[in-house]
Structure 1
Amino acid sequence: MTPRIRLIAGVALIVFGFALLGWAIYAGLNPTAPFETRLAPISAEAAKDVEGFGLTPERLQQIEVSAKDERGPIATGVVARDDAGRLTPLVWRNQVTEPIFFADVSASDAAKVLAAIREHTPQDAVVLAWWDFSRAIRLVAGRAAPLDDAEARGLLLPGAWSAAGAAERARWGAGVPTSSANGFTRFMDALLDSDETRASEALKKLADGKPAYVAVRISDAWMLAAARPQQLSIAYKDFAATGVSHGLIKSAQQWMRDQKIEGGFAVEPMGGATRLHYFQRKSDGDRLIARLLPFSTSLPSPLTRFSLVYQHKGWWIYRLND
């Protein structure tokens, strides 16, 4: 090999090396999403399933989330768009154990709860809820639900997907004014507060003097933990059962003792199993979100600033007392 050829080959190797390095840096900054989200016009069959929401088909779309290594979709649902283009999940079905974006919601359950909000709240009521349910309350229940979040904080993403979650949060936050962040941050702060009086006063301020209500679901504890992992730590374990029983609760309590877990817990039927949701730290059971939901730690100290007006499965609706 002549010196000239060796020189050309050396330069080529150097250029190739820099190209590989550049690609590695680009790939690190722009990770390929391990999943794909697709939206499509709603089918006649799916539209019939969500008739109870009273929305026109033009507002509705079907959504499907698929992963590269899975043959079928890992989550499906029906979403609506409001006048600002914001996506509202109305129906959600996870095909895997870990929730993808949202917890399971059936059309019949969601329609029932939204109808109950109309029935149990006055027309001038302000309902405070997580950003996804707030959109459904505005669209379907016809009540003021001012909270929203352009950052879609709390979106449930598997740990392996965290690097690729920015685009998905942008999708669900699209159309939301950035000014909404302050109000939603204050809402999360209140849910994490261990002082009921202080938390209730903070929530009343968000209602701006109007009759105030709070709507929460068990999945909100997970979304709050996803948004504030340093302040709330939650996990789950599934037990094979078809319903909740005293025997199951005793088994769950024994398992927690064996694992030396001192946090509060709540049980929720999940198809052919029962899911044990539990806080990993004892102190988390004192937070308002735990006391609004049926966690074991909420039983010894009943709420005084909140009155339960409606409950259905995983949903709990409260009125803030004057």
Structure 2
Amino acid sequence: MLAWFAWLWFSPGSPPYRYQLAEEGPASKFPQLGLEAWPDLILARYEVYTEGVDQPLATGHVARRGQSAPVLLDWENRTSELLTSLDSKLPELAALSAAIAKHAPQDALILAWWDTSRQINLLSARDTLFKSHVGEPLIAPAMWRERTDAIRAYENKFWGAVPGDDERRKFQRFADALLAEPQQGAAILRELAGTREAYIAIHVTDLYKLGLMRPSQFDITYKNFPMEGNMHGLIGYLKQWMQDNTFITYTLQSLNDKMVRGYFLRDPKSSQTLVAQMLPFTQSQPLDLQALQLIYQQGGYWVYKIPGGKDAQADAPVQSTPQSAPPSTPREPAPAAPAGG
């Protein structure tokens, strides 16, 4: 690690990491990814390296169609620090995209965080409000904060698809919606969607990204916990840790068979935001949300129909059980089943 810090000190204008191509080819070259339904994609696996460290800090798969800009499909951080993206599971994304392609009308509009939007646009062939690599928030260890400009320049060059001012403005408005109380937030989402039939897809990792973007409005933190013993023991430990650190509610994300990540909110205002009410915190129940209509759940993804638009008269009441969701959403949130499990 000393070599790493020395390199950072003497190279203030350089990004502190690099993406290194490990392998590339069609979907048939990556059978373990389960992307046979998208044979036209060119896939690649990248590893993230920094000077002085032999092992990759993170790894992820990207995809592109033709000469289009690459889109990140999944990500695995291999250090205690989060680097450029949060951990995600490709099987969950593939299932979500296939469901959208099957059930969402061709002219529907999908709203989601910009990274999820690009994934859905690529895999489901449905229009999304965000199509560019917005790059907000910047996810980097504290020791890299002085390299922000270099990191942003490197990210823009690698991913391409740099957004214009209008898309950046709309993304900030999207964040406004997630941080508003549910009815107001739903109204902002409808404002962004116009008159089109529209849906919003939220992933549990959006919580932390929103907290990084708007720390004064959304007080959230995370902590990883090993999956040892039974779930009841883990829940008991989570509750005690939450109380000891003065948090009021939490939800979980399954990282793998051996690890879960808890996301914790500290204040009542944060817990009453639209985004918190859309996800299964201990003090929220997505099936009870009236501002939006829950229609689908897959792993860490929750999909809602946005009321209003040209089909306002045809909006159905909220179903008691969303498609692909469990029969009931427990008050004590359980982590999503590990991919492939």
The TM-score with structure 2 as length reference comes to 0.76
| Partner in structure 1 of residue 312 of structure 2 | none
1:151–1:173 contact (8 Å) kept in structure 2? no
CA contact (8 A) 1:53 1:140 kept: no
Larger CA Rg, structure 1 vs 2: 1
- Structure 1 residues 233 and 70 mapped into 2: Cα distance closer, same or farther (>3 Å)? farther
Cα distance in 1, alignment partners of residues 11 and 22 from structure 2: 29
1:252 aligns with 2:234: no
SS in 1 for 2:295: strand
Q: Percent identity?
A: 30
Shift of 1:82: 5.6
Question: Which residue pairs with 2:5 in the alignment?
Answer: none
1:217, distance to aligned residue in structure 2 (A): 0.6
In the alignment, what sits opposite 1:111? Answer: 94
SS at match of 1:297: coil
Q: CA deviation at 1:299?
A: 3.1
Pairing 1:290–2:290 present: no
Matched, 1:34 2:16: yes
**Alpha-carbon distance in structure 2 between the residues aligned to 1:261 and 1:230:** 16
Match of 1:204 in 2: 190
May I ask how many residue pairs the two structures share in their alignment? 293
Equivalent residue number for residue 65 of structure 1: 48
Which position in structure 2 is the counterpart of 1:192? 179
Secondary structure, aligned partner of 1:92: strand
- 2:147 matches 1:161: no
User: Aligned match of 1:132 in 76, 91, 115?
Assistant: 115
Q: Which moved more, 1:196-205 or 1:164-173?
A: 164-173
CA contact (8 A) 2:121 2:131 kept: no
Q: Is the 8 A contact 2:92 2:300 kept in 1?
A: no
Aligned-pair Cα RMSD in Å: 2.7
For residues 157 and 38 of structure 1, the distance between their equivalents in structure 2, rounded to whole angstroms, comes to: 18
Q: Is the CA contact 1:265–1:277 (under 8 Å) kept in the aligned structure 2?
A: yes
Q: Is the 8 A contact 2:117 2:128 kept in 1?
A: yes
What displacement does 1:154 show? 1.9
Give the superposition deviation at 1:219.
0.8
Structure 2, unaligned runs of 5 or more: 1-8, 309-341
User: Take 1:218 and 1:166, find their aligned partners in 2: how far apart are those partners?
Assistant: 24
SS at 1:147 equivalent: coil
The within-5 A match list for 1:236-247 is: 236-242=222-228, 245-247=231-233
Say whether 1:278 aligns with 2:264: yes
The structure carrying a bigger helix percent of its residues is 1
State which of 142, 158, 165 in structure 1 corresponds to 2:125. Answer: 142
The match for 2:250 among 265, 277, 294 is 265
What are the superposed Cα offsets for residues 109-156 of structure 1, whole Å, 9 maximum, x if unpaired?
221111112233222211100111111111110111122455411242
Q: Are the structure 2 counterparts of residues 237 and 175 from structure 1 closer, same or farther at C-alpha, using a change threshold of 3 Å?
A: closer
- Structure 2 CA distance for partners of 1:243 and 1:172, relative to 1, 3 Å: farther
CA distance in 1 between partners of 2:274 and 2:230 (Å): 24
Q: Residue type matched to 2:303 in 1?
A: I
**Partners of 2:213 and 2:67 in 1: CA distance:** 24
CA distance in 2, matches of 1:243, 1:213: 38
CA contact (8 A) 1:308 1:319 kept: yes
Letter in 1 for 2:38: G
> Which amino acid letter does the alignment assign opposite residue 90 of structure 2?
A
Deviation string 1:140-199 (CA, Å, 9 cap, x unpaired) is 101111224554112422222222232244246632341311111110110111x21111
Q: 8 Å contact 1:153–1:227 — kept in the other structure? A: yes
Q: Does 1:174 align with 2:160?
A: yes
Q: CA 1:244–1:127 in structure 2 vs 1: closer, same or farther (change >3 Å)? A: farther
Counterpart of 2:94 in 1: which secondary structure? helix
Q: Counterpart of 1:76 in 2: which secondary structure? A: strand
Q: Equivalents in 2 of 1:279, 1:172: separation in Å?
A: 34
Q: Helix, strand or coil for the counterpart of 1:52? A: coil
- Once residues 80 and 230 of structure 1 are traced to their aligned partners in structure 2, the CA distance between those partners, rounded to angstroms, is 35
SS at match of 2:205: helix
Match of 1:100 in 2: 83
Match of 2:325 in 1: none
Native 8 Å contact 2:25 2:43 kept in 1: no
**Deviation (angstroms), 1:303:** 1.2
Which ranges of structure 1 fall in alignment gaps of 5 or more residues? 1-26
Aligned equivalents of 1:104, 1:300: Cα separation in 2: 23
2: CA distance, partners of 1:177 / 1:46 = 32
Matched residue type, 2:142:
G
One-letter code aligned to 1:56: D
Read off the aligned partner of 2:139 and give its amino acid letter.
L
Describe the SS at the equivalent of 1:275: strand
Contact 1:191/1:287, CA 8 A, preserved across alignment: yes
